[in-house]
Amino acid sequence: METNTPSWASDTVPSVMEPRERSLEIRFTGSGSEYFRIWIVNLLLSIVTLSLYRPWAKVRRLRYFYANTLVDGHAFDFHGNPWKMLRGYLLVGAMLVCYSVAGQFSATAAMVAILILAVLWPALLRASMQFRLANTSWRGLRFRFNGTLGGAYRGMLPLFVPALAMAAMRFELVDPQHPTMAYIKHIYAVMGLTLLVAPLMWWMFKRYQHDHYALGQWQTRLDIGPGSAYGLALRIFGVSLLSGVVVVVIVAIVGAVAGGVGMLSGLGANKVLFFIVIMVLVLLGYMLALLVPVPYAMASGQNLVWNHTRCDEVSFKSSLRFESMFKLTVKNWALMLLTLGLYYPFAAVSFYRLRVEAIAPQLSGNLDLLQAQGAGVGDASGDAAGDLFGIDIGL
């Protein structure tokens, strides 16, 4: 290797003084039609290789999204090695197979599997975030995730409280055929408890994430308390309740009208048709009920978290509007249904663009003074776990 070491010494003094505070623009330049082409080829290769190709597909997908995400004119980069990711993917796949097989055999085996998974889960999640950030760079610098292992377990502690209560209650159940009134009351109590701690859980998890993102000498922190999380949860709950009531009324009216028409035309006698109509109505009702709360939760959740994430020289302004999120959700879900899912890559790109372009980092320091701090590289099996369980960190 005859690589000459460069001598950039003369450049270490920044040549241009940057203004005191400026807003960095985030732009996404990717297109749905191009992602469609990448996605369909990825999908085909994954199916043909019985999913062994997935790590390569993932690298290609991330590289595409990263290379098109420009912050202040500079794109993100992904450095993950697909071979390493394949190892993690196989490990997590084997674990999942054991888990789902155990669940079919007996309740005890399922409990043991859940327990093992619950114990490993925080460690896997941390490894996943470490891997993802360590393999993401901007302006040549790798990101880092500095959360500790202990912090991961502490951050997910509230999750274990209702789970343990649930497990302990199994011993209370002497005769499964005749659960006592007290047992049923306890079940409701645990369910209520879970609902009550859910916002706390979300807050602690978000804090664990947003307190430990790092780039160069920057390290972010999240400035909100659990009160804000409860406020958000209350608003989402209110919106969900309202749209649930509206949808029930709509479905009841449509059902009554359809039922009447069916009776009159004699179609009601066809049980298969009746069954299909009921299924479609239930499904549409379910989607309709989520059509307002989901974009609402996404928009207000993102704004809450990113507006309160900052480090010494950077703060973030997130102004994701519910109206735009709602319109896009309606459009994307409708087209997904109509195209039997083939619209997915277009939907993914447009959601990503809307969400990421709504964030504007406010910079008060000098980018040229940002320096690498020595990197740690996480384990790819954590990344695979995060992927399979559907938990993926936002940018």
Partner 1 sequence: MTGAPSDPTPSALEPEGVAADYFDGRTARAHPVRVHVADRALVIADADGVRQRVPLAALQWPERTRHGARLMHLPDGASLHCRDSLAWDTWSADHAGRRDSVVVRVQQRWKWVMASTLVLLVLVFLGYRHLLPLAARGVVAMIPDSADQAIGETALQSIDENGLMKPTTLSYAQQQSVRDAFARAVARLPAADVPPYELQFRQSAIGPNAFALPGGTIVLTDELYKAVDGDGDILVGVLGHELGHLRHRHGMRMLVQAGVLGAAAGAIYGDFSTLFSQIPVLLGQASYSRAFEHEADVDAVRLMRADGVSPAVMARFFVKVRKAVASAQSASAPRLPHLPIALASHPADEERIRFFEDAARGQ
Site for partner 1, residues 39 to 98, rule: CB under 8 A: 40-41, 43-48, 51, 54, 60, 63-64, 67-68, 70, 73-75, 77, 79
CA atoms within 13 A on the CB side of 240: 12
Q: Footprint of partner 1 on residues 204-223 (CB under 8 A)?
A: 216
Residue 87 buriedness (CB in 10 A; 0-12 / 13-18 / 19+): middle
**380 and 124 Cβ atoms separated by less than 8 Å:** no
331 binds partner 1 (CB under 8 A): no
Range 343-372, binding partner 1 (CB under 8 A): 344, 347-348, 367-372
Binding pattern for the stretch 227-266 against partner 1, x by CB under 8 A and - elsewhere: ----------------------------------------
Rounded to an integer, what distance in angstroms lies between the CA atom of residue 148 and that of residue 164? 24
**Are 242 and 181 a contacting pair, CB within 8 Å?**
no
Task: Determine, following the binding rule CB under 8 A, whether residue 1 of this chain makes contact with partner 1.
Answer: yes
Is 272 a binding residue for partner 1 by CB under 8 A? The answer is yes
Looking only at residues 372 through 391 of this chain, which bind partner 1 when binding is defined by CB under 8 A? 372, 387, 390
Q: Which is nearer to partner 1, 30 or 361 (CB)?
A: 30
How many residues belong to the site for partner 1 (CB under 8 A)?
A: 77
Q: How far is the CB of 69 from partner 1 (least distance, A)?
A: 9
| CA angle (246 as vertex; 244, 252 as ends), nearest 5 | 100
CB nearer to partner 1: give 193 or 370.
370
Q: Which is nearer to partner 1, 167 or 200 (CB)?
A: 167
User: Shortest distance, CB of residue 177 to partner 1, whole angstroms?
Assistant: 6
Distances in whole angstroms, Cα of residue 185 to Cα of each of 174, 181, 244, 266: 15, 6, 26, 46
- Nearer CB in complex with partner 1: 16/264: 16
Q: What is the torsion angle, in degrees rounded to the nearest 10, for the CA atoms of residue 363, residue 369, residue 375 and residue 378?
A: 10
Nearest to 209 by CA among 317, 313, 129, 266: 129
In the list 171, 188, 265, 271, the residue contacting partner 1 (rule: CB under 8 A) is: 271
Answer yes or no whether residue 288 interacts with partner 1 by CB under 8 A.
Answer: no
Nearer to partner 1, 54 or 308 (CB): 54
- 286 contributes a contact to partner 1 by CB under 8 A: yes
Question: What residues are paired with 178 via a beta bridge?
Answer: none
Question: Binder to partner 1 among 128, 130, 135, 137 (CB under 8 A)?
Answer: 137
Q: Which is nearer to partner 1, 148 or 339 (CB)?
A: 339
CB under 8 Å to 262, separation ≥6 — which residues? Answer: 268, 274, 277
Burial level of 193, CB count in 10 A (0-12/13-18/19+)?
middle
Instruction: Give, for 166, the enclosing helix (H) or strand (E).
Output: helix 157-172
Q: Does 14 bind partner 1 (CB under 8 A)?
A: yes
Q: How far is the CB of 114 from partner 1 (least distance, A)?
A: 15
Per-residue DSSP letters for 126-151? HHHHHHHHHTEEETTEEEEE---HHH
Asked if residue 105 binds partner 1 (CB under 8 A), the reply is yes
